[in-house]
Chain A
Amino acid sequence: MTGAPMVVAQDVHKYFGSLHALNGVSLEVARGEVLCIIGPSGSGKSTFLRCINQLERADRGAIWIDQELAGFRRVGDALYELTDAETSRQRASIGMVFQRFNLFGHLTALQNIIEGPVTVQHRPRAEAVDEAQTLLERVGLAAKRDAYPSELSGGQQQRVAIARALAMRPKLMLFDEPTSALDPELVGEVLGVMRNLATSGMTMLVVTHELGFAREVSNRVVFMDEGAIVEAGSPQEILVRPQQPRTKDFIAAVLP
């Protein structure tokens, strides 16, 4: 974990109508760090994650990815909004895994994985296919390369979705409640893949309700409530000895 931080968020605000979804979130994520964001639903965790890859635009504040300002170009003291193409280029270096998988329904597992490398990055198809095979093996689904998403279980779909994000060779991976839509017996296989990814040194930002995963795998845990960061620290500090009453209540309610 050396060098400039991978993500710097500075006083990020987001409104949905009158709802103040993000209320001044500031956060740094170091290179290679695995950071879990926990908190009750509606606390703004997912919105914050979506602001990082600009699926939502922050109304106030700024986010830097690898020292590059997200969504704007700075010239002197003026911020110019990026074009759609420039925004797309920024997104391409950030992998995103969704709660509902969002695999492309009309494409097979393999086609899902090579779509980005071939269509967006214009890499040679053969090379992309080779790399996709390797990724499928890495998530334990080499046998499912020609299956359509509708033929896969939720856990398998999510593992293909992780492979699809990794195929873009991202410098940062965002996970938006990756196991929340899964049957309980399928959660383990997805967490297993994420655990391996964490070991490989990938910078990961994980919004999750899996406190066990947060404790074992993450370097740092952030607890959010009502659009703001309430408490941040090591897994021990947040999950075992929380200081803030809201954190304590949440942990007590979630842990059996």
Chain B
Amino acid sequence: MDLYALKNEFDQTGIMICFNGPFYHSIIEEIGTAVRNHLAAVNISQGALMDVFAVYIELTHNVRNYITLRGITRPEVASSIITIGRSSNGYEVSSGNIVLNKDAEMVCMRVDEVNAMTQDEVKSQYRKQMRSDVARGALGAGLGFLEIAKRSSEKIKYTAKDLNTTSKFLTLTAFV
């Protein structure tokens, strides 16, 4: 494997930290700590640092929850990728994982909904959603994308690449 080429690609695209593989909560914690240490070493405000971290946590928890919810056990399906890197105006955090077509559609619709909101609408929807009941067995409170939007400097981006007739590779990117 040409690690030099891979490293160059990371450097050119601004990727600082990347994890590829099946990830568990302990890995989410460890990489999260690495992200914070890395950002603390550059000249970034504590507020911006925590925004990057928060977006990272919401995206990785999304992926973890999805794998749990769908009972995905095959390592090649559970294997996901997360990157944290510099973008032209700040930082970007991306997650990529395999999802069923219908789930990809649902996520993209939700992102479209949240992207259409102003910051004030995001805040009021957040409060409203916080007050709604969470379905029994649900792993999240339905707040994830709102939380990301609250902390983002740009709209959330997504792409869904067809893998076969039933599933797609879903990439989500948030900018801080």
Q: Do A and B bind each other?
A: no
